[in-house]
Each structure stands twice: as structure tokens, then as C-alpha cells.
Amino acid sequence: MLYIPHMGRPPLILVTPSIERRGVEFHDLSASLSVRYNNAILKAGGIPVTAPTTTDRAVLAECVRRTDGVLLTGGDDINPELYDKKLPRKVLKTVEQTPDGGERDARELVLIREIFRQHKPVLAICRGHQMLNVAFGAKLVADIGQQVKTPVNHRRMDQPLELVHEVALTPGSLAAKICKTTVLGVNSTHHQAILQPAAPFVATGVSSDGIVEVMELKKKSLPFFLSVQFHPERLVQKHARYRAIFQKFVEACGKNKN
């Protein structure tokens, strides 16, 4: 399904790509985006538009203006210089940053500023979840294995399409309403994390070890805001509640159309 008839023109969703050191064509530095993000948006009735690989503030502001919402995706680690300049060397060794010299970090910081300035709906996933926290001045756990005592394995790269641990959702939260539950099974493929949300946010989903798996706004200042550590786009084929996340996001974008 490409669009939902009652919505009229399908909303345009700006989607942030990852950066690869070697792409298919000529092995250039390349933009990369899992088709699962696009497919999840398309099936929910939106049209995905990949964000350009620029750090030009005016261009990025115009991209946000011309689209109806923004999806901040997963990918490589965020530069620790942006959130904690005193990390031990053994922790720094675990960080795998984007190969573009920090341009993705800079680009997404601009996009986040514009999302809030222009009051656009946003869905943030994994890296995007973490980048929101960094953008508002809070720290990250750079490596769960070294910095958090936990029996939970958050880096299940062997089962990216499976529910591998549970998250307790706050009753009455947006996430609980969308997913129609207060105990949510999630996939988990990350080694960085949030323990303390930045000032505008509140944790509405937490794993048993205290890691923040879902964040929402304390005060509703955007038409839609949901930030998750897990990857719902990888779960939409098997589970209706993850499809509902994209459906509610795209619906909000549809109501916010230019």
C-alpha cells in the first residue's frame, strides 16, 4: 500500500541515511539506508525521502520545511567528543564512528534543531534516539559492556528480527497507547545507550537494567514525538504493534502536511 486514501496526498518523510566507507559504485564514500525503514513508511502510507549528505544549515532547514516529518535512523556510533570528553581509552576503543569525519553527527544535530524550530513530527530509532539526547546536552553510555553492570545482552546482532528482552512501558504513555501494552518485547543490537534523558525528555520505556529504551517529551511541543532504542522497522512484518508505531507517526505527518 503506497498511500491511505482518506489522507489525500501521502505525507513526505525525511529519512536520515548512514554513511559507508565504500559503496557499490566506484567504492566511493556513500549514503546507505536499510530498505526496511522505507518499506515501513510506505506500508504506513507515507513516502520516504532520503536526507542529502550535506551540513549546510540552510539546505537542511529547507529539507525539513518541505517534508512533513522526520525519521532519525540507526547506524554507527556518535562521536564521544559530543557528549563525554573524559571517556577511558579502553571504552573509546569500542566506538565505531561514521567514516565521514563527523559530518553525519553535524547534519543530524542541525536536523534536530530544525525539527523543534519548525514543530515537525519525529520518530527516532536507535542512533537517532541517542542523538536526540546528545543534541540536548546529555551524555550516553559509550559501551554498555564496560560501563553498566547488567545481565541483559543488548547487542544481539545474531537475532535482529527477534524479540530478545522486555521493556517496561509507563502506563498511559504514548508508547503504551500505541502498542497497547505495558510490557514490550524488543530486538536489541546496540552497545551505546541512554541512562539519563536530557531535560526535555522523559523515559517511558526502560529495560530491567535501567537503560532507557523509549523517550517521550515531558511537554508536548511537537505534533508527534517518539524515540526508541530498538528497531521497530525490523519487526513490522511479524508484529502489529510495531506497524502501529509507523502508522501513528505517518498519520501525524499527514495531519501536519505543508
- The residues assigned a catalytic role are 126, 231, 233
Residue 32, H or E segment: strand 30-32
Cα dihedral sign, 28-111-197-254: negative
| DSSP state string for 178-201 | HHT-SEEEE--B-S-B-SS--TTE
**Residues pairing with 72 in the sheet:** 124
User: Looking at the DSSP assignment, which residues form a beta bridge with residue 97?
Assistant: 77
**Alpha carbon of residue 75 to chain centroid:** 9
Cell of 72: 532519525
Residues 6+ apart with CB under 8 A from 231: 36, 74, 125, 126, 160, 187, 189
List 17's β-bridge partners, or say none.
none
Single-letter residue type at 81: E
User: What whole-number distance in Å separates Cα of residue 220 and Cα of residue 214?
Assistant: 16
